[in-house]
A and B are shown apart, each in its own frame.
Chain A
């Protein structure tokens, strides 16, 4: 039996307005992996997720869940999937208990398991007190929590989520992060699209970087950081830099670019140890009083901007 949970083969989607959302997309996600799906607006993230959840049909190519073609056998594939795509509408005339009962029945859960799981998931997303209140009276954040509960109800092997923390307050975001971490510890597969790079780097070990419907990069967050051409040094000075000093720093050829944040200097350079040493010498030779000089940690955001190019924007 294959250890691949999600796979796409030459997946292509061209909308009726001519927009090519996916351009022969190939991804493989192993069972038990938590993979972040990142890319600028219009990169094709939601389109991929909608194809994987049978909401739209691809123009060509295949999408597989546990080795089964989603397009050919959606009923069988979606049995193993819990999903949350974009911002779905909710059935406002129902209560969370009724709504979850509907989805549980559709997924052939027996009454005993269903009642137990409804309690558990509502507890998990912290809306137990609202179990029998009409959803129509819920805030956006509470509706979002309920939708997450729906995705987790049947204890799916694979969780596909598109911007799960959208509409949640910081506490809600942390709760979702904790839920995803818990699922990872249970060896569930998580495929998570988000524009919040911090969320992804906190929860996922691997990321797919997508642009214009194609995979730009797919690796672990650590490897991407290490391979990144972006290398930075943080320099702290005893006194605030003057305009003249800043002008002189600009003239140091070894420095690619720099930012001044709260009086500290963040330098981009080529990452070589020699260059690092030479920059320090040059700064000292300018008569600058240095308090600290150390490499800065590269964030996922740095990697993202480096790979995608700053003009794409983060989305």
Chain B
């Protein structure tokens, strides 16, 4: 078979994989859970001040910034739901015995799974942003929708890629779905933020930690005072840092690309014992 035809066949296999993975996501309860979270979370930011009559933030930027503070959490939860079992599940449930003995490259299978999970999370994140925009229009009027929302949205999608690659990486290492899902979740929710905080305490900027870079998603609305490095000292000698835009983007790209490649290499070499 010619090289070109071989590549075309790999692409076809990936496409078939995407179709079936998306079907899986759509049929599982977890997609509905993620959709509910994407709808309920931003609605709460609108409904609670409205019901308690406490008033909204003064500017649309502040409102959006606090509202999108939870998009990181949504991305991490969604990645755990859609990708925690992407590779480990094939080995644990022994479906690999069926799928890997067919004439298709494992890279095509995993690429299909990655793109399908990415698509599912993009839908969830997009829904969150759409509801946020509708709320801004309702509260502040269409003219006050911050243009930086586009930048924030693109950063959120980039962050989805890096989080998904990290989850895929753990899914390729572990044989158990529970282990890979929990390790991914706690790494993103606890371990990396704790490491960031500890580095900050010892006055080292955690620029290389992806959860730190994710701060850019909301920082684009309300510029932090100490953008891109050590700022000033707060009470108690605590140094504050904020991610530099360029560095943060590159860190997210690096996590997305390197961890995805590593997860594919590990998964392809893994024996189905």
Chain A positions near chain B (C-beta within 8 angstroms)? 15, 50, 53-57, 74-79, 81, 83, 85-91, 93-94, 98, 102-103, 105-108, 147, 150
Contact = CB atoms under 8 A, between A and B. Distances in A.
A194 B23 CA distance: 36
A57 B105 CA distance: 14
A54 B100 contact: yes
Given A54-B101, A107-B103, A88 B271 contact: no
A89 B93 contact: yes
Given A15-B273, A89-B95, A93-B27, A79 B103 contact: yes
Contacts of B147: none
Given A56-B272, A88-B94, A105 B100 contact: no
Contacts of A150: 98
Contacts of A81: 101
B94 A89 contact: yes
B24 interface: yes
B138 interface: no
Contact of A105 (B16, B96, B272): B16
Contacts of A90: 95, 98
B9 A108 contact: yes
A56 B273 contact: yes
Given A55-B271, A57-B271, A85 B24 contact: no
A122 B14 CA distance: 27
Report which residue of B102, B269, B271 has the largest number of chain A beta carbons within 10 angstroms of its beta carbon.
Answer: B102
A55 B97 contact: yes
A75 B105 contact: yes
Interface residues of B, number: 26
12 contacts: A54-B100, A55-B96, A55-B101, A78-B101, A81-B101, A86-B94, A88-B94, A91-B24, A93-B27, A93-B28, A102-B16, A106-B104
Instruction: Please list the 10 inter-chain residue pairs (A to B) with the smallest Cβ-Cβ separation, ordered nearest first.
Output: A88-B97, A89-B93, A53-B101, A55-B272, A56-B271, A88-B98, A89-B95, A89-B94, A78-B103, A79-B103
B94 A87 contact: yes
Report which residue of B1, B13, B20, B94 has the largest number of chain A beta carbons within 10 angstroms of its beta carbon.
Answer: B20
A150 B97 CA distance: 12
A75 B101 contact: no
Contacts of B93: 89
A81 B24 CA distance: 27
Interface string B85-110: 00000000111111011111100000
Nearest to B92: A89
Contacts of A106: 13, 16, 102-104
A147 to B, nearest CB: 7
A86 B98 CA distance: 10
Interface in B63-94: 93-94
Given A89-B93, A93-B27, A83 B9 contact: no
A76 B1 contact: yes
B129 to A, nearest CB: 29
Nearest to A50: B272
Contacts of B105: 75
Report which residue of A57, A86, A102, A147 has the largest number of chain B beta carbons within 10 angstroms of its beta carbon.
Answer: A102
